[in-house]
Homo-oligomer: A and B are copies of this chain.
Amino acid sequence: MTEAEITSSPHDERTAELLRLWLRLLGTTTAIERELAQRMRQRFGCSLARFDLMAQLAKSRDGLTMGELSRRLMVTNGNVTGLVRRLVEEGLVVRESDPDDRRLQRVRLTADGLALFGRMAVVHGRWVTELLGDLGPEERRALSALLARVKAAAMQGTDDRGTA
């Protein structure tokens, strides 16, 4: 995610204010994500993309298909193909084709993958707590509600059908 954008041609004040709000939202999220990515990389040699994929598999112990993974991670099929290939090479996941429908590739965590994910998840949770923990219960609730409003509003007029 990149930051920065325009302040020129404000046109009207409301547009300029919304632009600043968007830049703040983007900058805040990006800063946290980069910090998490950096720590994950240094501590576990694992990218957020890999961690997210493993997290989905950890929630579905009987495995997921490639398509299901790409929907949940909200990335393209081709992206999942590459991610899974590298995780297979590292011995963290396995893939096998479904005997009932040979188009389907079913992906599961290996024991190693599950063990690594478990260790990462604990530390990841601590990091998130550290990075967001200064917010009080009231602020957390307010922020959560506002974000839900923003996402719902932004999704109108979009045929994205995100995970909502």
Q: Which residues of B contact A30 (CB under 8 A)?
A: 1, 29, 74
Chain B CB within 8 A of A24 CB: yes
Which residues of B have CB within 8 Å of A5? Answer: 51-52, 55, 124
| Interface size counted on chain A using CB atoms at 8 A | 77
Interface: A42 (CB within 8 A): no
CB distance from A125 to the nearest CB of B (A): 5
Contact flag A2-B52 (CB < 8 Å), given A25-B29, A28-B151, A154-B28 = yes
Contact A153 B132 (CB under 8 A): yes
Contacts A9-B122, A135-B149 given; does A128 touch B19 at CB 8 Å: yes
User: Assembly of this chain: how many copies?
Assistant: 2
Pick the interface stretch among A87-95, A100-108, A139-147.
A139-147
Q: Interface on A for B, CB 8 Å cutoff?
A: 1-11, 14-15, 17-22, 24-35, 48-49, 51-52, 55-56, 58-59, 72-75, 118, 121-122, 124-126, 128-135, 139-140, 142-144, 146-151, 153-158, 160, 162-163
Given contacts A5-B52, A26-B29, could you give 4 more A-B pairs where the C-beta distance is less than 8 Å? Answer: A2-B75, A6-B125, A15-B126, A18-B133
